[in-house]
Amino acid sequence: MELSPASARSEWKVGKFREVYYLVGEDTAAKAEAAQALKAALKPDAFNLNEFSEAAPDPQDVISAALTPPMFADRRLVVVKSVKLGAEAKRTIAEYLSDPLPSTTLILFSDDRKPDFRDALCGAAAARQGIVHFKTLKDEEAERLAAELAREAGSTLDREAAKLLIEESGTDTGILKAEMAKILLFTRGRKTIGRDDVLACLGYKKEANPFDFPRILQTRDRAKTLAELERLFADDEDPLALLYKVSHSLNRQLKAKRLKAAGKSENEIFGALRLQPFYDRDYMKWANAVPETTLIAGLKACLELEARLKSETWLDGRVELERLAAAICKAPEKG
């Protein structure tokens, strides 16, 4: 049995708490919020709260905390923040869950997209009916969330404005709430939030979205990249500002490759680089297609062009940037 985040919160509101909650799914922000909501519902004091934030906590320390009866309270809360528990640690904690202390609530996190019941820890949590699955929001669910945030602030979010926001920001809970916070600050005191308000807060015209340019560039599709540059130039985008976007895009791909080489998961890479799960879903595919040496060469070319544009003022920035983009978008090598 899986619990939805809403079902879990409903239980907490009426004072029902399980021995374990295993938070699974892609929406990292929503999982963190749920853990905070549970903490707020239980209100543990310092004597009845154990939090393990290290990357690889000792499972025996976790179990020792979980087996400690609460002190002058009804429940103890134990939070294990790591999503990188090893197989042995998972088996050890799973053994504890076969006969857990009823007065302890244990929170565990997973970066798996969905429950994997072949995993010992997941199976043990499922046996205790403690799996909470944070599924990626559908567009209509994200629109409802945005509208609810607007209502809580005393405003109404126009349907077209909500659609535009979801199209551009994606459905990640954390990103969506951050964008809505900006919009609500911008429209403070206004009863209705419209499409123009969303556009103003996103900071560009929909017809020529500069956020599309780095996404297209990372695919190394030369024709589409140059066509997008032409559109942006037609909208009077500054070549130097676009050059910074090129450099930033290459630098992020380089960081992504190095994070992957260091053993980081895709979710951790997306979080570190502030990528959007919906719009950047193919990010690692495109980054993997380009060797590190090629990315470093591209970054050097960006620095050289920046120096030339600043010192050789007679240069046509648009032409030079088109040349650079065309060179970057040559057929990707293997590696």
CB contact set of 47 (below 8 Å; sequence gap of 6+):
70, 71, 72, 73
CB contact set of 6 (below 8 Å; sequence gap of 6+):
none
**What is the model's pLDDT at position 259?**
92
19 token code pair: 């021995």
Are 2-134 and 207-328 the same fold in CATH?
no
For domain 2-134, which CATH number applies: 2.40.170.20, 3.40.50.300, 3.40.630.30, 3.40.50.150?
A: 3.40.50.300
Q: What is the mean pLDDT of the chain?
A: 87
Is the per-residue pLDDT at 311 higher than 70?
yes
Q: What are phi and psi of 300, to 5 degrees?
A: -65, -40
Answer whether 28's CB lies under 8 Å from 174's CB.
yes
For the chain, the domains span 2-134, 139-203, 207-328
47-88 per-position pLDDT tens digit: 999 999 887 889 999 999 999 999 999 999 999 988 778 889
CA–CA separation, 108 and 125 (whole Å): 9
Cβ-based neighbour number of residue 204 at 10 Å: 16
Say whether pTM exceeds 0.75.
no
Residue 307 CA neighbour count, 13 Å, CB half: 6
Chain Cα centroid distance, residue 2: 23
Identify any residues that bridge with 25 across adjacent strands, giving them in sequence order. Answer: 134
**What is the model's pLDDT at position 76?**
97
Predicted confidence band of residue 205 (pLDDT cuts 50, 70, 90): very low
Quick one: DSSP state of residue 334?
Answer: P
Q: Is 310 exposed, middle or buried (0-12, 13-18, 19+ CB in 10 A)?
A: exposed
Q: What are phi and psi of 76, to 5 degrees?
A: -110, 140
Highest mean pLDDT out of 4-8, 62-66, 191-195, 203-207: 62-66
Please name the CATH architecture into which domain 207-328 falls.
Answer: Up-down Bundle (1.20)
Answer whether 195's CB lies under 8 Å from 160's CB.
yes
Q: Which CATH class is domain 139-203?
A: mainly alpha
Q: Where are the beta strands (DSSP E) in 135-268?
A: 156-157, 192-193
Residue 212 or 96, more confident: 96
Is the per-residue pLDDT at 208 higher than 50?
no
Answer whether 5's CB lies under 8 Å from 12's CB.
no
Identify any residues that bridge with 24 across adjacent strands, giving them in sequence order. Answer: 133
134-160 per-position pLDDT tens digit: 887 888 888 999 999 999 999 999 988
Specify the range with the lowest mean pLDDT, choosing from 225-234, 262-271, 325-334. Answer: 325-334
80 token code pair: 């294990």
- Residues 179-185: contacts with CB under 8 Å, at least 24 apart: 180/146, 180/149, 180/150, 184/149, 184/150, 184/153, 184/155
